[in-house]
Amino acid sequence: MFNIENFLISLPILGWGMLGIFIVIGIIMLCVITLDKIFPAEKDK
């Protein structure tokens, strides 16, 4: 029913997937920070 060997084989694939998600989130954060510096929000007085 539950095969430990297949589970251990799938762990590196899971790791690469999680790494890819974090890289994409980091790229999106850098884009947002860059756009915020290029087009700063106007502050109310």
2-37 tens-digit pLDDT: 899 999 999 999 999 999 999 999 999 999 999 999
Q: Sorting pLDDT into bands at 50, 70 and 90, what band is 41?
A: confident
Give the phi and the psi of residue 40 in degrees, each rounded to 5. Answer: -70, 150
**Encoded amino acid at 25, one letter:** I
Q: Sorting pLDDT into bands at 50, 70 and 90, what band is 45?
A: low
Q: What is the pTM of this model?
A: 0.73
Per-residue pLDDT, 11 = 97
**Encoded amino acid at 30, one letter:** L
